[in-house]
Structure 1
Amino acid sequence: MREHTPKTIYLKDYTPPDYLIDTVDLFFELDEENTRVTAKLRVRRNPESPRENPELELNGEELLLESIKLNGRGLNASEYRLSEESLVLPSVPDRPFDLEIVTRINPKANTALEGLYLSKDMLCTQCEAQGFRKITYFIDRPDVMAKYTTTLVADKSRYPVLLSNGNRIASGELKNGRHWVKWEDPFKKPSYLFALVAGRLECVEDRYVTRSGKEVTLQIFVEKHDLDKCDHAMQSLKNAMRWDEENYGREYDLNLYMIVAISHFNMGAMENKGLNVFNTKCVLARPDTATDSDYEHIEGVIGHEYFHNWTGNRITCRDWFQLSLKEGLTVFRDQEFSADRTSRAVKRIDEVNMLRTKQFAEDAGPLAHPVRPESYIEINNFYTLTVYEKGAEVVRMMQTLLGKDGFRRGTDLYFQRHDGQAVTCDDFVKCMEDANGVDLTQFRRWYSQAGTPEVHIAADYDAANRVLNLTVRQSCPPTPGQPVKAPFHIPLAIGLLAPDGTELPLQLEGETEPHGQTTRVLDLKEPDQQFRFVGLPEKPVVSALRGFSAPVRLHMNRSDQELAFLFSHDPDPFNRWDAGQQLATQVILDLAGRLSKGETPTRVDSRLIEAYRRIIGQDWADLSYFALLLTLPSEEYISASMAIVDPDAVHQARQTVKRELAATLEQDFRRLYQTHHVDEAGRFDAEAVGRRRLKNVCLSYLSELETEDVYRLSVRQFREARTMTDQIAALSTIVNSHNPEKSDCLAEFYERWRDDDLVIDKWFALQATCHLPGTLDRVRELLSHPAFDLKVPNRVRSLIGAFSQSNPVNFHARDGAGYALLADHVITLNALNPQVAARMLTALTPWRRYDKHRQRLMREQLQRIAGVENVSKDVYEVAMKSLS
């Protein structure tokens, strides 16, 4: 157990830094166990600091201090104070001064993968959020921005490639087979954006000419055997550069843009200035090794990190409470980029699915926090869905309220006003206000208030006056530290459909002329508001929250008939899909309720089957969207509607409905499968991707029949597949069925791909997410598999993470064995990699949503974890907040 309670950091306590650092000159003598770092800093008093004659405090962790010089004079131990987390100089000059600090570090021992560490045979860094303090003593906070030069010295045979931020300005050879390279970054940056990579790497190179005519060299560095998997990433980068020029007027500012793909990485990617470090899964792709979803994900992440060059690097966050300033905005930008590159409808649905199943649960649990948090113990715990995905929704709402042109005016002003600065979320909103002449004071509550607002809509049609009256109420449940919430400013997009499915023009009472629009964005600002639509000859069906215009829980009393109507007719693609999900959820929840009571229902509501039959009978240009319409809501989605989650009943009910749909619509699914089962290996256009998605949804339904011919169909697709999309989809149906060739197919897959780490991650995840009994025992076996390594984050996520976060029926088994397995490995990971341990632990945090028996078992494991000796700050914070 921790001997001392970790310190809590509060937003309200923010003060400007006492000192600023203008330039940083770094000299690395690289070695995997004994790296020597010389840091020469130009330091000066900050005129904005409120303190007189402050001490100079530098952050530092896990460093061996070798020497300190102040203006060229060596300091003795009596002239500074050294602790496990800081180096303090009580007396420094009032004028700008030079500080030289020499430290030694052991990258090989750094299993936390923060600071400088060893990834296979490569040395690399991860400095966000506070990793730079593990490299040298520094004022490690984002509002201290400096210009960096970096010289790397290393053995040339072991580290032939030496990379850092900015432009390469010099290099040379040294004695004893060593060499050096010097890099200069002309732009000021905070320490969290520093990066270096050293190792045996090969380079794929290309060029991009900006809109103004500047040529930029593009380089992707990978291990030699991965050279043939970089084409998609390179094209994605060029697509992102062009998109940012066209949509935001932003050009790249250096002559060189580098990406390095490494396997040992806690995150997806990192936007270090000019030198992006990526997890290999977010770069490497080839049709036979990566799925269509992988290809889309790679393009989105490549875009995200590139877009950070302006929204994160050129303009950064003042403090870590403002993390969503860069992440929420950049997620929104990468979402819009991906929507333009793929199916906008499918992209939006995927985003909302993530919010409803993951982020809403975060908002409703003990770890709930605002988009701009008020406090933290360990900043790594705030790289959350609330900061990222909900933060992106807040930005999206601003665009919805201001329109695309108004939003562009706001971002133009933001880039002009704050280039080169470290600023706040309020600064961004202020630019939106000033550029558009609006007041967003109430809207700012989205940044400061936690929780998911609840919006209730009641519709009353007055036939005599041809008026529809909408009564709208909003509220927000209490969250930790915020028992009472003020009303939000919610943009509520509304449409009305006539009984024949056509859209109606919307005219609000008091408007002298018809508005002409079929979708109106209403400003919901009060706890209760009424909106009266006039000129409606028949009772309309309300299409509310179109495009998911705000991250809220919407409540309307919808009959199954009304949902089926919207599922068949709503022209808003999100609301059409959502109506189908609600209809299916109602049917499944009703069935789950009866199963919980011990009943054994034999039939599924025919209205759901007929609704699906009508969808199948229509023509669809967007086949990916068609595939989504045919996909049942996930068990997580369904469980979100339950006050007390019964994972067994939800699973059994959903499987019952899926089997019934498969049996009733079998011929339709077979026809669609055969029609779209064509060989299009290497094609990733919308039509080819859509055909594969639709075909594999149909195969998933057919596999529920558990017939010999479907077994053969799945195995044939598995063995003949020329894309990973088709092979992994077929293997998934095999793993989740009683197919007699299951073991053989799993063995074949492993033998074929055993040397490709990313594909073997899929092999682990497929088995970890199998819904059949016996999966926990299989997970235990896989934990001892030669290919599993607890020190590799991707492996941990693919097995332990997949089982605990994506297999509710087995993880939540009533004997609590799943909880114990997770807790065992969180405790082990706590000593190896606290960041990953804390992420894994979140599967136990929503324990209050389950029955008393499961609550007790989950709480016991949380208490066991919290009581571990020397528990890390990362894990301690998550465990204690969950238990409070």
Structure 2
Amino acid sequence: METAHAAVTTRLADYQPPAYLVDSVKLDVDIRDGVTTVTSELALRRNPDAAVSDAMTFNGEGLVIRSLTLDGKVLGEGEYRYDNGELLLSGLAEQATLVSVVDIEPEKNTALEGLYMSNGMYCTQCEAQGFRHITFFPDRPDVLSRFRTTVRADKQRYPLLLSNGNPVAQGEEGERHWVTWEDPFPKPCYLFALVAGDLACLEDSFTTMSGREVALRLYAEHRDLDKLDHAMESLKNAMRWDEETYGREYDLDIYMIVAVSHFNMGAMENKGLNIFNTSCVLAHPATTTDAGFQRVESVVAHEYFHNWSGNRVTCRDWFQLSLKEGFTVFRDQMFSADMNSDAVQRVNDVDFLVNHQFPEDQGPMAHPVRPAEFQKIDNFYTLTIYEKGAEIVRMQYHLLGAEGFRKATDLYFERFDGQAVTCDDFVDCMQEVSGRDMTQFRRWYSQAGTPILSVSDEQTADGYAITFRQHTPPTPGQADKAPLVIPVRLALLGQDGEPVALDDSGLRETVLILEDAEQTFHFPVSGPVTPSLLRGFSAPVVLEFDYGTDQLATLLAHDSDGYCRWSAAQRLYFTALDRLVLGKGRAEDEAAALAPVLEQVIERAGEDPAQAALLLTLPTEIALGDRHTPLDPAAIHVAHQALKRALGVALQSRWLSLSENLLATELEMDGVAMGRRQLRNLALDYLAAGGHPEAARIAIELFELPLCMSEELGALRVLVHHRLAGAEQALEQFAHKWVEEALVMDQWFSVQASAPGEVTIDVVERLLAHPAFDWKVPNRVRSVLGVLAGSNPSAFNTDKGYRLFTDALRTVDGLNPQIAARIANAAARLHRLEPGRQQVFRSLLQGVNASASSNLGEVLGRILAEN
């Protein structure tokens, strides 16, 4: 196994264009049991933008060379050098043709990079650097080529042979057959895709705004054909939305999606042939939760939007990864907001960002949105690249306005179509269209860390003054931080909760642009007001403002901004929880103080049940723990459980009413119905936390006769997490019923791994030995280890939890280093743990790091660093 010491640091400052470009690629992939032979013909041309050279390096890892031919001449072993995953050729002419024939073994590929097998089908994953596991190629995103791919295989076992582009030829050779695909658009090799298998297909079509008909084909295992309808509808909605919002039309004759059960990520935007993790494309009410339906809609849209923001215009190098990912996350968030509730979508996005990306940005894994260096690019598919990157795009959207942003993106797509570009090229378009100097704004891309925005206000003789002070704490490798451009959407609420006029024009909301370390703004407003700050979460910052309890109650009850209402609720919860953690209050007293405000939310729940559910949900134990250093997870758990129990008792009649009265008799899948189910599941959870005797009965009834998986799984979670009577029987019944449904069984594993308390470690040990657990399936590994480490701190942060986790890391790392590295990120809070836990965990992690792969070694090295 590759060790951490084999890692090489790649630096943005060292970027050099490739010596040769590859104008076209002809691939022949001959799939046979045990060995697949790949023949590649590369049409090379000296790069006019690079220093003149007759030498070229091609990437290729784990390839067995059958032959190499340069311009018709077969090369002997002394005429090339192949070691450390690189093939070096010299003496190349201005134009040259390289033909390579290599053997690979996809059946043994447990890392799931390049070509591998998943449930009897062959498929690929080439982003970021998987293509080098298939054939020799300059595996970098700034080499764009036109691909013509022929796939050969046994026609009975693999009747479906797919690749990028459009099919142009096919034929049979006895018991075997072949199909040739041609992609007319140049693309980097990370967008290459291939699938060979026996799959069912859901077909439909879409007529573009110019009148072209596009064939839509979604593929899955035959048993899953009935789970593709929602993805198809989501795809058509995304295609229509992208035309209406960005003027972008699809460009090929066919758009395909294939569902794959073994997949390291959520999905991949390969040109014309998207390969998806089954969890992001399969959806049916009986087997998929409401959250699962929403995820499918979002991910299908995300990968489709990549056709322009990532494929037609791609990134020059992997340091620019957020150019495509941050932009496309922003696009899919805006799409989801238009398809559903704008307020709920924004709160969900911010909640995820604040509770997951902010900790990443404030710990040992902090890095800029455009990193300066990396060892393994796989480790930089992070929340900072995706989620913070999306917020940086959103800030530009607000700085330019919707119309200006559309003009800027039109310019970006038209100017750079078919090119590999940089984040600066994107910002240049914003600057050119708006006329705004974006020099300071670009710091968002190069400066790591989450800015802290401290705010104070005062009533002055001539009105109201509000002062903002910004600073960004040091992060690894970046001690000194410069001021950023921070747009702050603001309104001032009067005593009646309505926004007051901010000036003589009657303006009631404005966007303040912060550029200095400290700035003060004045408004001619009389009387006490409550500032509604960062409306819509206009910038990814930590807001520090000393709100009074009455002000928070005003925001929660009256603010028209969904984010500010949710933020006010979170602040109220955190204030109560902090007092309990510090031993300065009683849970019953805190619940009694919160109850009147929460009753107002419940009274208005019918207006938007999903938003009400968000407002009534306590912050997680992890979010609470992030506010306390040193971190004592046991104390956090006790405080959290105490307040939840007290609220369950204080609002008992309300929870009982919601649990019983929100029961539906017919299944609906619209946003309101989903919100009602979310609110009912939350109410039942509070009811059980408060020890109400009816909780078990209601949960069992809901579990026995569910209309959909959201009800069935919600009831099971309440039974298991609160250890109610009937929980074990329900688990057995659920597993028996759904044993053949892999994604549902993932949920069964997750429900048990997420149950709070140290006793869960014994449960997890049994789950890892369960016949249905498979170390080679990323979804299954994430459903147990990812859930335990990432969302169950009271079980994870124990001696037994640390030992189980580190032992499991070794096992996963031996099979799939990418997944091991991603799961290891859960240890990033090591430096914040109280000394006793920290010492135990650090010692165990050091033991893993001694023999870790370069993927895992890079992550653990950063976590274990003392500074």
TM band (smaller chain): over 0.9
AA matched with 1:153? R
1:837 maps to which of 820, 830, 833: 820
The answer as to whether partners of 1:847 and 1:858 remain within 8 angstroms in 2 is: yes
Q: Distance in 2 between matches of 1:773 and 1:77?
A: 59
Deviation, structure 1 residue 515: 4.0
Question: SS at 1:443's partner residue?
Answer: coil
Q: Distance in 1 between matches of 2:532 and 2:194?
A: 52
Q: Distance in 2 between matches of 1:456 and 1:390?
A: 20
Asked if residue 755 in structure 1 is aligned to residue 756 in structure 2, the reply is: no
1:690 maps to which of 675, 682, 692: 675
Q: Distance in 1 between matches of 2:817 and 2:505?
A: 56
Counterpart position of 1:726: 711
Q: TM-score, normalised by structure 2?
A: 0.98
Counterpart position of 2:407: 409
Q: Distance in 2 between matches of 1:600 and 1:499?
A: 31
The answer as to whether partners of 2:4 and 2:853 remain within 8 angstroms in 1 is: no
Deviation, structure 1 residue 99: 0.8
Q: Distance in 2 between matches of 1:883 and 1:275?
A: 40
Deviations 1:520-567 (A, max 9, x none): 110000001010011x23111111111111000000112222212221
Q: Distance in 2 between matches of 1:71 and 1:783?
A: 54
Q: Given the superposition, is the C-alpha separation of residues 558 and 161 from structure 1 closer, same or farther in structure 2, using an over 3 Å criterion?
A: same
Asked if residue 524 in structure 1 is aligned to residue 524 in structure 2, the reply is: no
Deviations 1:408-459 (A, max 9, x none): 1110000110000000000000011111211111000000000000000001
Q: Distance in 2 between matches of 1:820 and 1:515?
A: 64
AA matched with 2:250? Y
Deviations 1:385-414 (A, max 9, x none): 000000000000001111111111110000
Deviations 1:55-111 (A, max 9, x none): 111001011011011111111111101113111112211x21111000000001110
The answer as to whether partners of 1:62 and 1:84 remain within 8 angstroms in 2 is: no
Q: Distance in 2 between matches of 1:825 and 1:805?
A: 14
Question: SS at 1:218's partner residue?
Answer: strand
Q: Distance in 2 between matches of 1:797 and 1:725?
A: 20
The answer as to whether partners of 1:624 and 1:691 remain within 8 angstroms in 2 is: yes
Q: Given the superposition, is the C-alpha separation of residues 63 and 25 from structure 1 closer, same or farther in structure 2, using an over 3 Å criterion?
A: same
Counterpart position of 1:510: none
Counterpart position of 2:132: 133
AA matched with 1:146? S
Asked if residue 76 in structure 1 is aligned to residue 62 in structure 2, the reply is: no
2:850 maps to which of 861, 867, 884: 867
The answer as to whether partners of 1:680 and 1:688 remain within 8 angstroms in 2 is: no
Aligned length: 864
The correspondence of residues 118-157 of structure 1 with structure 2, limited to 5 A, is 118-157=117-156
Question: SS at 2:546's partner residue?
Answer: coil
Asked if residue 259 in structure 1 is aligned to residue 257 in structure 2, the reply is: yes
Counterpart position of 1:301: 299
Deviation, structure 1 residue 602: 5.2
Q: Given the superposition, is the C-alpha separation of residues 54 and 98 from structure 1 closer, same or farther in structure 2, using an over 3 Å criterion?
A: closer
What residue ranges of structure 2 are gaps of 5+ in the alignment? none
AA matched with 2:105? N
AA matched with 2:321? L
Q: Given the superposition, is the C-alpha separation of residues 605 and 706 from structure 1 closer, same or farther in structure 2, using an over 3 Å criterion?
A: closer
Deviations 1:104-129 (A, max 9, x none): 00001110000000111000100000
Q: Distance in 2 between matches of 1:2 and 1:418?
A: 39
Q: Distance in 1 between matches of 2:604 and 2:108?
A: 60
AA matched with 1:526? D
Q: Distance in 2 between matches of 1:517 and 1:573?
A: 20
AA matched with 1:473? R
Q: Tell me which moved more, 228-237 or 705-714.
A: 705-714
Q: Distance in 1 between matches of 2:181 and 2:6?
A: 41
Q: Given the superposition, is the C-alpha separation of residues 674 and 602 from structure 1 closer, same or farther in structure 2, using an over 3 Å criterion?
A: closer
The correspondence of residues 143-222 of structure 1 with structure 2, limited to 5 A, is 143-175=142-174, 177-222=175-220
2:803 maps to which of 807, 817, 820: 820
Deviation, structure 1 residue 704: 1.2
The answer as to whether partners of 2:587 and 2:642 remain within 8 angstroms in 1 is: no
Asked if residue 565 in structure 1 is aligned to residue 554 in structure 2, the reply is: yes
The answer as to whether partners of 1:594 and 1:601 remain within 8 angstroms in 2 is: no
Counterpart position of 1:593: 582
Question: SS at 1:183's partner residue?
Answer: strand
Deviation, structure 1 residue 30: 0.6
1:357 maps to which of 338, 346, 355: 355
1:488 maps to which of 464, 470, 484: 484
Q: Distance in 2 between matches of 1:694 and 1:258?
A: 36
AA matched with 1:851? E
The answer as to whether partners of 2:113 and 2:124 remain within 8 angstroms in 1 is: yes
Counterpart position of 1:14: 15
Question: SS at 1:846's partner residue?
Answer: helix
The answer as to whether partners of 2:5 and 2:854 remain within 8 angstroms in 1 is: no
Q: Distance in 2 between matches of 1:37 and 1:532?
A: 69
Q: TM-score, normalised by structure 1?
A: 0.96
The answer as to whether partners of 1:21 and 1:145 remain within 8 angstroms in 2 is: yes
Asked if residue 878 in structure 1 is aligned to residue 867 in structure 2, the reply is: no
Question: SS at 2:140's partner residue?
Answer: coil
The answer as to whether partners of 2:10 and 2:374 remain within 8 angstroms in 1 is: yes
Asked if residue 606 in structure 1 is aligned to residue 592 in structure 2, the reply is: yes
The answer as to whether partners of 1:236 and 1:303 remain within 8 angstroms in 2 is: yes
What residue ranges of structure 1 are gaps of 5+ in the alignment? 508-513
The correspondence of residues 656-671 of structure 1 with structure 2, limited to 5 A, is 656-671=642-657
2:730 maps to which of 742, 745, 748: 745
The correspondence of residues 540-689 of structure 1 with structure 2, limited to 5 A, is 540-594=529-583, 603-604=589-590, 606-618=592-604, 620-681=606-667, 683-689=668-674
The correspondence of residues 530-541 of structure 1 with structure 2, limited to 5 A, is 530-534=520-524, 536-541=525-530
Deviation, structure 1 residue 344: 1.2
The answer as to whether partners of 2:775 and 2:812 remain within 8 angstroms in 1 is: yes
Question: SS at 2:32's partner residue?
Answer: coil
AA matched with 2:268? M
Q: Distance in 2 between matches of 1:182 and 1:803?
A: 45
Counterpart position of 2:35: 34
Counterpart position of 1:108: 107
Aligned-residue sequence identity (percent) comes to 49
AA matched with 2:399? L
The answer as to whether partners of 2:19 and 2:50 remain within 8 angstroms in 1 is: yes
Deviation, structure 1 residue 3: 7.9
Question: SS at 1:69's partner residue?
Answer: strand
The answer as to whether partners of 2:4 and 2:858 remain within 8 angstroms in 1 is: no
The answer as to whether partners of 1:125 and 1:195 remain within 8 angstroms in 2 is: yes
Deviations 1:361-399 (A, max 9, x none): 111111110000000000000000000000000000001
Q: Distance in 2 between matches of 1:590 and 1:503?
A: 32
Question: SS at 1:470's partner residue?
Answer: strand
The answer as to whether partners of 2:343 and 2:561 remain within 8 angstroms in 1 is: no
Counterpart position of 2:442: 444
Deviation, structure 1 residue 680: 3.0
Q: Distance in 1 between matches of 2:317 and 2:506?
A: 45
The answer as to whether partners of 2:4 and 2:854 remain within 8 angstroms in 1 is: no
AA matched with 1:875? L
Q: Distance in 2 between matches of 1:309 and 1:540?
A: 47
Q: Distance in 1 between matches of 2:454 and 2:587?
A: 32
AA matched with 1:877? E
Q: Tell me which moved more, 702-711 or 263-272.
A: 702-711
Q: Distance in 1 between matches of 2:250 and 2:505?
A: 42
Deviations 1:344-370 (A, max 9, x none): 111111111111111111111111100
The correspondence of residues 425-440 of structure 1 with structure 2, limited to 5 A, is 425-440=423-438
Question: SS at 2:183's partner residue?
Answer: strand
The answer as to whether partners of 1:732 and 1:766 remain within 8 angstroms in 2 is: yes
Deviation, structure 1 residue 328: 0.2
Q: Distance in 2 between matches of 1:322 and 1:701?
A: 45
The answer as to whether partners of 1:56 and 1:91 remain within 8 angstroms in 2 is: no
AA matched with 2:809? V
